Structure 1
């Protein structure tokens, strides 16, 4: 086998991704990049990532992995761009970037970005309501990281739990959330790095699992705990998750508590440029409108109409 082909197929990462629908086509296109037979997708941004893939492959073939590995930053960029596309609701574009991130991470033997991207694809599948695909992607991410540390294992197990809960597999969801909690305990005993999966994120997953399994009160409790633990810089997550919390408080009949929670989200909403945050504000207006006979609900509704564009009313 020629060195370029061995360099691609010899990476253990790719065997795990065979569980992902459509992956053989992805692998075939990566082979095309290696031999110069790639065709353009047609979007300038994606073309840029394709060109980066070819450069990574060329460096790998000519000089070995040590020289190519720094180019793995391109996979991080592609993953982040895909995540931003999800945030704006551009799911087709997001999937293209995620596929590029997988290709780049595989070419650079970058296990961390590879697993993180699969996990991101699982999150997207959950957003779109595809429980079985979310489970397959989350399981592939976990299987691709056998040497991961406890924080990463918690990160992946939390996603597996949420996916299983959406799919309706209670036993698997609870098993994975227990695993995530145990791994988080181990991770926290080693230190608390900023900017990675943390107890706030774990409690968010606990909330999502409880909600999908029908425990709305438990999901509210866990989401409140998540909010208390969240670092202050995570404004976008705070707006989205507080709005979600308010929706669940309203489901429990706690109208005034929901209005207070919604107001904290609405107050910060102008500082966030996020399609998903916008969606939560639209939902807020729709849900609160029938309750405007209540003074708290009326005040919130009037504030929302004053702050939000007319298209969101």
Structure 2
């Protein structure tokens, strides 16, 4: 589709970025690759857009996100001179409960999964601060039920725990549609039902936990923009219920998402915001926050801060473990994972491998999805330091559990495994792994 007039709005934005036509095309291609839909745009493509040609619908969100990342602020379709997207591709409604229903319905319907892919991770996302969300929530809108009670809160909490356990065992692709359906059909009506103030706050806190978990599961499937939208709803609900713990946990989760995508500066800001929002954290929570600060600091090249935060996490973990062993929260396995990440970012590949091995040995057996995912990372790093046979063994352990795990992140690592092993198939261990993987990994991921 083309117009008769040059796109002056696009030209203004391009001039603001300081990019050449080639640099603009490269930025769009990078985001397409990040999303899993690689593009091959070039300078002539950008020239066509400047001349009034409207890019394909699937490319437009990539272009908006490229501009947003470069300029550090959101960019709209109108601002770039593109027509508004069709109904169903816009962001969720602004109201907290309406937003949850909009996200959940989209997530429940397999026929609309392509719409979810439009939502990209954005470094220009506006994250509300605690004073901006505390105590705020739209008025109750009474539905079929007339009152909400603590038994309803316990239902939401128990269901969230069950969904979290399913995610740990089977991955986000299995559990997230169930979480979305529960949010839409049960939790949203509870949030719109009147009740005593303490019960209303407890319900919003429980809903915040569930939104955070659903966002985390969206990250596991690689739907990063969708995850951000769930995370924002979690922040709104945490503020409305004055739940500082979930607010901090959500900010940290957003930092984890950012650092895993290589967005170090935004990861650092989010990790620092989480720590600043939890001034009275106990030792385990402090370790939980400081470990993430250490990883983010290492990724942005701040070696001194990374080591300082890592030491702080280690001291806090020692205090926490001396008081009680906490199953299901930040533990020594998680701390060793952060140690590995810090060492890797600072160029100590052997140290990173050693810490990741320690993490694997300490991890509780119920965390199957995490075990498979982290073992694939360990195998990649063993390959990087020349330990081919050890890497093959580690990938083999990951394959033992793989058929039971439905995770976009794990699938992505398995694709990487084939690419890394293929040049070494003259080695007996590598050949055996390659052949076994071809029979175990999902057929659509196996190379021809």
Band of TM-score, shorter chain: 0.7 to 0.9
- CA distance in structure 2 between the partners assigned to 1:48 and 1:217 by the alignment: 49
Q: Which residue of 2 aligns with 1:247?
A: 380
Q: Which residue of 2 aligns with 1:192?
A: 325
> CA, structure 1 residues 54+70, in 2 after alignment: closer, same or farther (shift >3 Å)?
closer
> CA, structure 1 residues 28+69, in 2 after alignment: closer, same or farther (shift >3 Å)?
closer
- Structure 2 residues not aligned, in runs of 5+: 1-123, 141-179
- CA distance in structure 1 between the partners assigned to 2:309 and 2:250 by the alignment: 19
Q: Which residue of 2 aligns with 1:7?
A: none
The 5-angstrom pairing of residues 68-217 of structure 1 reads: 68-71=200-203, 72-217=205-350
- CA distance in structure 1 between the partners assigned to 2:305 and 2:336 by the alignment: 18
Q: Which residue of 1 aligns with 2:418?
A: 285
Deviation (angstroms), 1:48? 7.1
> CA, structure 1 residues 295+176, in 2 after alignment: closer, same or farther (shift >3 Å)?
same
Q: Secondary structure at the match of 1:187?
A: helix
Q: Secondary structure at the match of 2:138?
A: helix
Is the CA contact 2:137–2:240 (under 8 Å) kept in the aligned structure 1? no
Is the CA contact 1:157–1:179 (under 8 Å) kept in the aligned structure 2? yes
Among 188, 207, 228, the residue aligned to 2:361: 228
Q: Secondary structure at the match of 1:148?
A: coil
Q: Secondary structure at the match of 1:196?
A: coil
As a proportion of its length, which structure holds more helix?
1
Is the CA contact 1:49–1:100 (under 8 Å) kept in the aligned structure 2? no
> CA, structure 1 residues 186+35, in 2 after alignment: closer, same or farther (shift >3 Å)?
same
Among 216, 220, 237, the residue aligned to 2:370: 237
The 5-angstrom pairing of residues 261-300 of structure 1 reads: 261-300=394-433
Q: What are the Cα deviations for residues 146-192 of structure 1, in whole angstroms up to 9, with x where unaligned? A: 11110000000000001111111111111100000000000001010
The CA RMSD over aligned residues, in Å, is 2.6
The 5-angstrom pairing of residues 25-44 of structure 1 reads: 34=138
Deviation (angstroms), 1:96? 0.7
- CA distance in structure 2 between the partners assigned to 1:225 and 1:88 by the alignment: 26
- CA distance in structure 2 between the partners assigned to 1:172 and 1:21 by the alignment: 25
- CA distance in structure 2 between the partners assigned to 1:134 and 1:178 by the alignment: 19
Aligned length: 283
- CA distance in structure 2 between the partners assigned to 1:25 and 1:219 by the alignment: 34
- CA distance in structure 2 between the partners assigned to 1:151 and 1:24 by the alignment: 25
Q: What are the Cα deviations for residues 28-67 of structure 1, in whole angstroms up to 9, with x where unaligned? A: 899995369xxxxxxx8787799569648x65xxx44x23
> CA, structure 1 residues 218+24, in 2 after alignment: closer, same or farther (shift >3 Å)?
closer
Among 115, 127, 138, the residue aligned to 1:23: 127
Is the CA contact 2:135–2:240 (under 8 Å) kept in the aligned structure 1? no
- CA distance in structure 2 between the partners assigned to 1:202 and 1:31 by the alignment: 33
- CA distance in structure 2 between the partners assigned to 1:206 and 1:52 by the alignment: 43
Give TM-score scaled by structure 1 length: 0.84
Does residue 260 in structure 1 map to residue 364 in structure 2? no
> CA, structure 1 residues 131+48, in 2 after alignment: closer, same or farther (shift >3 Å)?
farther
- CA distance in structure 2 between the partners assigned to 1:196 and 1:161 by the alignment: 18
- CA distance in structure 2 between the partners assigned to 1:289 and 1:153 by the alignment: 43
- CA distance in structure 2 between the partners assigned to 1:151 and 1:295 by the alignment: 45
> CA, structure 1 residues 52+25, in 2 after alignment: closer, same or farther (shift >3 Å)?
farther
Is the CA contact 1:118–1:141 (under 8 Å) kept in the aligned structure 2? yes
Q: What are the Cα deviations for residues 66-123 of structure 1, in whole angstroms up to 9, with x where unaligned? A: 2323211100110000001000011111111000000001101111111111111011
> CA, structure 1 residues 252+236, in 2 after alignment: closer, same or farther (shift >3 Å)?
same
